[in-house]
Structure 1
Amino acid sequence: MAFSPFQWLYSILQWILTSIFSPDPPAPGARLRRPKIAIVGAGLTGVSAASHCVGHGFDVVLFEAGGKDHLGGIWSKVNSTSGLQIHSIMYRFHPGVKFDEGYPKQNAIVGQVEKLWKMYHLEDKTLFNTKVEKVYKDKQNRWIVNDPSNGRFDGVIAAVGTCGDPKMPHLPSQDKFKGEIHHSSNLDGIDGKGKKVTIIGGGASGVEALEWAVETGASEINVLARSDKWIVPRNAFVDILLAFNIFGQETLFSWVPENILRLFFYRDLKDIAPADQGLFTETPMVNSEIFRQIRQGKAKWLRGDIEDLTEQGVQFIKRAKGVPKGGPGHSLLVEADVIIMATGYKRPSLSFLPDEVFEEPYGPPRWYLQVFPPSHPSICANNCTYVNAIGTVGNYHIGIYTRLLLMFLVDPLTTPKTFWMKRWIDMTSTLKALAPTRAFDFFTYSELIYWFCFVVLINPFRWKWALFVFFGIGKGLPAQVVGHEDRLRNGLGYKKSYLD
């Protein structure tokens, strides 16, 4: 491997972040304290959140519906050729994670999840093949998962993610097609060499399938997309810069980055750029490879609607730029030997949570900080109420959300009241009332950091926890303060913390 100064500096940066911010794993067999947290899902977010909890001395149980081969969540189910679209500096989902390259593949990502799982001794705290059907409270106000035999918990982290089973819609006249049909997540072992490959879906899965088709030697590649979607360069600096929009929505100046992208990135392919959709309305695709493939004539990008399937391929209505879905266009036959369904994944259900957390107008994602239901601040739906965003993914915020939950549970004076949680939601909705999307359907990472800062600063009792919440350090001093507060509360007959 050629020497790369940037990669060397990145390795140094990861070492520094791990040394300073990664909590120490507990000693094998160490007795962990309350609060005890139930974590639903042993994917990337679940394992990371569990590592933060036990690293700070608090007990957990991980519930995973699948077997051990599902450790890593969606990453355990995708193709071995799948990799990050964004730079891994924006995907360090725990301070202890270390990537050897900028855009690691599936096995490297799952490997880091497994490393955390073992490093923090989560083997004995994980219940595989245990689907969570319901979560409810007992008479002592503690959480029960499915039934009391699984223990009782002070808090719950829902970490089921946003990608579950593959979506595999039935295409019109699908039985007529004589070729192969596969989902984009199931391409390992499929041979596309010399074949005409048609990819249905123009999202991130579609781009990944396009890259697979090029690598496998397909003779012809067509991507059929129903709508245009913003594509941004695979460049960490550009991606971080776009996330600096603290308003989390389209602004009077959004035309600047949009036109810069059209001029310097899309260039001769401006027809693919969205005509009537702002950049800050939906999660963009992060990819530079797709334009190179189109310019080299290795792939075609067609906008339109599927009319029917025939023996030879897809009867397709090609629409001009600006014509809406289902609008008029030109009918053509897109011949195919292999059809790849890049149609995404079903969103996992949160229906195991109590019914009251779904009551409108405060149902997900309209929750406190998007993840805490106002009726139950001891629940944190970490990384599974997300809809659309621009910014770093699976990164800094997993630890912050987890430590916010720990702070709420450990220090009653920091726990938000239902009334004020709803007022924060109302305030954020009002601030984004003019946004093309609803307040919590799109955000930027800078806006997310603003949310965190605001909720810590607004409550003086949370100030002592600031270093712990944001960086995972300095728990000792606020814990001592809470101990003194406990003695005062005990004398006045108030609820004590778990630090006694």
Structure 2
Amino acid sequence: MAFSPVFWLYSMLQWLLSKIFSPDPPAPGARLRRPRIAIIGAGLTGVSAASHCVGHGFDVVLFEAEGRDHLGGIWTDVNGTSGLQIHSIMYRFHPSITWEGGYPKQNQIVGQIEKLWKRYQLEDKTKFNTKVEKVYKDHQGRWIVNNPSEGRFDGIIAAVGTCGPPKMPHIPGQENFTGEIHHSSKLDKVDAKGKKVLIIGGGASAVEALEWAVDTDAAEIKVLSRSDKWIIPRNAFIDVLLAFNIFGQETLLSWIPETLLRLCFYRDLKDIAPADQGLFTETPMVNSEIFKQIRSGRAHWLRGDIEEVHENGIMFNKRAKKVPKGGPGHQVMVEGDIIIMATGYKRPSLSFLPDEVFEEPYGPPRWYLQVFPPSYPSICANNCTYVNAIGTVGNYHIGIYTRLLLMFLVDPLTTPKTWWMKRWIDMTSTLKSLAPTRAFDFFTYSELIYWFVFVTLINPFRWKWALFVFFGIGSQLPAKVVEQEDKLRNGLGYEKSYLD
């Protein structure tokens, strides 16, 4: 492999981040103390959150509904050709991650999850084939997962993610199709060479399926999309700039990046750029390859509605720009040999959580910092309530959310009260009352960081934890302060912290 100065610098950056911010794994046989955390889901988020907990000396149990082969969550259920659409520097789900390139593939991502799981000695703390049906509190206020035989816990991290089983809707007439029909996540053994491929859907799964069809040398590729979606360049610098919108919504100046994208990125393909949807309303797709394939004639992007599947293709109502879904159009027969259902995944349920957390108007995602239900600050639904954003769900905020939960559990003076959690939700909703989406349905990464800073600064008792919360360092000083506070609380008859 040729020497690359850029990759060398990236490798050094990763090494430096790991050295400074990665908590040390516990020594073999070390006794981990309370709080004890139940983590539901052994995917990327669950493994990362567990490593942060044990790295800071707190005990965990990971509950995974599937078997050992599903360590890594949704990344174990996608194609081997699947990879990151964003640059890996924006997908550092733990400080110790070491990527071998800018856009790693599925095997590298699963490999890093496995490496993290083993480094922090989580093998004996993971219960596979254990589906969580319910969590509830005992008479002492500690959490029980399923039943008391699983033990008792001080906090819950729900890490079931946003992607469950593949979503495979039935299309009228599909039983008459003489070709093949596959979900976009099951393409490893499919051969599309020399064939006409029809991709149903217009999201990230559709773009990934298009790349697969190109790589397998399909003769013709057509993407049948119901609507236009924003596509932004596969460029880390530009993606970071777009995430700098601290308001987390469409503003009077949002037309500037939208216009620049149309002029400099879409160029001659402005027709497939959204006309009536702002950039800061829905998660954009990150891809530069798709325009290249459309311009070369290898791929075609059709806007419209699927009416019926025939023996040799799909009857499609092709609509003009700005015509709404189901509106008038031009009926055409789109012929194909393979239909790829890029229809996404079913969303995993959080129904195992107590009923109170779903009571309106404070049901998910309208929670404190989007992940803490107001009725139970000892629950953190990390990366489960995500709807849309410009940023990433796999970055270092997993650690921040985990350490916030640890801070709440360790230091009672930092734990938010239900009333104040609801007021923060109300305030954020008011600030975004003019947003096209609801307040918590879309955010940017800059807005997320603002949330973290605000809730840390608003409570003086949290100041001593700031370095720990944001960077995972400096936990000894606040812990000693809490020990002194414990003595005072004990003398006054108040509840002690877990640092005893």
Shift in Å at residue 77 of structure 1? Answer: 0.5
Match in the other structure for 1:180: 180
Match in the other structure for 2:134: 134
* 2:83 counterpart letter in structure 1: G
Match in the other structure for 1:68: 68
Matches of 2:244 and 2:283, distance apart in 1: 15
Unaligned runs of 5+ in 2: none
* 1:478 counterpart letter in structure 2: P
Unaligned runs of 5+ in 1: none
Match in the other structure for 2:302: 302
* 2:347 counterpart letter in structure 1: R
Matches of 2:187 and 2:5, distance apart in 1: 35
* Kept after mapping to 2: 8 A contact 1:35/1:59: yes
Matches of 1:394 and 1:182, distance apart in 2: 28
Match in the other structure for 1:220: 220
1:331-369 CA-to-partner distances (Å, cap 9, x unmatched) read: 001101100000000000000000000000000000000
Identity %: 83
Shift in Å at residue 441 of structure 1? Answer: 0.1
Secondary structure at the counterpart of residue 101 of structure 1: coil
Matches of 2:464 and 2:155, distance apart in 1: 22
Residue 456 of structure 1 pairs with residue 456 of structure 2: yes
Secondary structure at the counterpart of residue 36 of structure 1: strand
Match in the other structure for 1:121: 121
Match in the other structure for 1:396: 396
Match in the other structure for 1:429: 429
1:296-331 CA-to-partner distances (Å, cap 9, x unmatched) read: 100000000001010010000000010000000000
* CA RMSD of superposed structures (Å): 0.5
Match in the other structure for 1:372: 372
Shift in Å at residue 392 of structure 1? Answer: 3.2
* Kept after mapping to 2: 8 A contact 1:240/1:392: no
Shift in Å at residue 138 of structure 1? Answer: 0.2
Shift in Å at residue 293 of structure 1? Answer: 0.3
* Kept after mapping to 1: 8 A contact 2:374/2:418: yes
Matches of 1:299 and 1:163, distance apart in 2: 27
Match in the other structure for 1:147: 147
Secondary structure at the counterpart of residue 307 of structure 1: strand
The TM-score, its normalising length taken from structure 2, stands at: 1.00
1:15-66 CA-to-partner distances (Å, cap 9, x unmatched) read: 0000000000001111100000000000000000000000000000000000
Shift in Å at residue 170 of structure 1? Answer: 0.2
Match in the other structure for 2:35: 35
Matches of 2:3 and 2:295, distance apart in 1: 30
Shift in Å at residue 7 of structure 1? Answer: 1.2
Matches of 1:452 and 1:175, distance apart in 2: 51
Match in the other structure for 2:465: 465
Secondary structure at the counterpart of residue 449 of structure 1: helix
Secondary structure at the counterpart of residue 29 of structure 1: coil
Secondary structure at the counterpart of residue 189 of structure 2: coil
What are the equivalent positions in structure 2 for 1:81-480 lying under 5 Å apart? 81-480=81-480
Matches of 1:316 and 1:8, distance apart in 2: 50
1:106-139 CA-to-partner distances (Å, cap 9, x unmatched) read: 0000000000000000000000000000000000
Matches of 1:46 and 1:393, distance apart in 2: 12
* 1:210 counterpart letter in structure 2: L
Matches of 1:441 and 1:484, distance apart in 2: 41
* 2:7 counterpart letter in structure 1: Q
Shift in Å at residue 393 of structure 1? Answer: 3.2
What are the equivalent positions in structure 2 for 1:43-58 lying under 5 Å apart? 43-58=43-58
* Kept after mapping to 1: 8 A contact 2:64/2:127: yes
Match in the other structure for 1:496: 496
Secondary structure at the counterpart of residue 315 of structure 2: strand
Matches of 2:413 and 2:341, distance apart in 1: 51
Matches of 1:186 and 1:395, distance apart in 2: 27
* Kept after mapping to 2: 8 A contact 1:51/1:120: yes
Matches of 2:297 and 2:462, distance apart in 1: 57
Match in the other structure for 1:16: 16
* 2:465 counterpart letter in structure 1: W
* Kept after mapping to 1: 8 A contact 2:318/2:331: yes
Which is worse superposed, 152-161 or 386-395?
A: 386-395
Matches of 2:99 and 2:238, distance apart in 1: 20
1:227-263 CA-to-partner distances (Å, cap 9, x unmatched) read: 0000000000000000000000000100000000000
Secondary structure at the counterpart of residue 380 of structure 1: strand
Shift in Å at residue 396 of structure 1? Answer: 1.2
* Kept after mapping to 1: 8 A contact 2:383/2:393: no
Matches of 2:362 and 2:466, distance apart in 1: 27
Which is worse superposed, 387-396 or 104-113?
A: 387-396
Shift in Å at residue 2 of structure 1? Answer: 3.1
Shift in Å at residue 3 of structure 1? Answer: 2.7
Shift in Å at residue 217 of structure 1? Answer: 0.8
* 1:389 counterpart letter in structure 2: A
Shift in Å at residue 189 of structure 1? Answer: 1.0
Shift in Å at residue 8 of structure 1? Answer: 1.2
* Kept after mapping to 1: 8 A contact 2:38/2:157: yes
Shift in Å at residue 5 of structure 1? Answer: 1.9
Matches of 1:266 and 1:6, distance apart in 2: 28
Secondary structure at the counterpart of residue 477 of structure 1: helix
Secondary structure at the counterpart of residue 265 of structure 2: helix
Matches of 1:474 and 1:327, distance apart in 2: 59
* 1:137 counterpart letter in structure 2: K
Secondary structure at the counterpart of residue 224 of structure 1: strand
Secondary structure at the counterpart of residue 257 of structure 1: helix
Secondary structure at the counterpart of residue 295 of structure 1: helix
Matches of 2:398 and 2:129, distance apart in 1: 24
* Kept after mapping to 2: 8 A contact 1:390/1:445: yes
Matches of 2:453 and 2:60, distance apart in 1: 27
* 1:211 counterpart letter in structure 2: E
Secondary structure at the counterpart of residue 485 of structure 1: helix
Matches of 1:323 and 1:282, distance apart in 2: 19
* Kept after mapping to 2: 8 A contact 1:41/1:73: yes
* Kept after mapping to 2: 8 A contact 1:409/1:497: yes
* Kept after mapping to 2: 8 A contact 1:90/1:393: no
Matches of 1:426 and 1:356, distance apart in 2: 18
The TM-score, its normalising length taken from structure 1, stands at: 1.00
* 1:29 counterpart letter in structure 2: G
* Kept after mapping to 2: 8 A contact 1:412/1:497: yes
* 1:27 counterpart letter in structure 2: A
Secondary structure at the counterpart of residue 420 of structure 2: helix
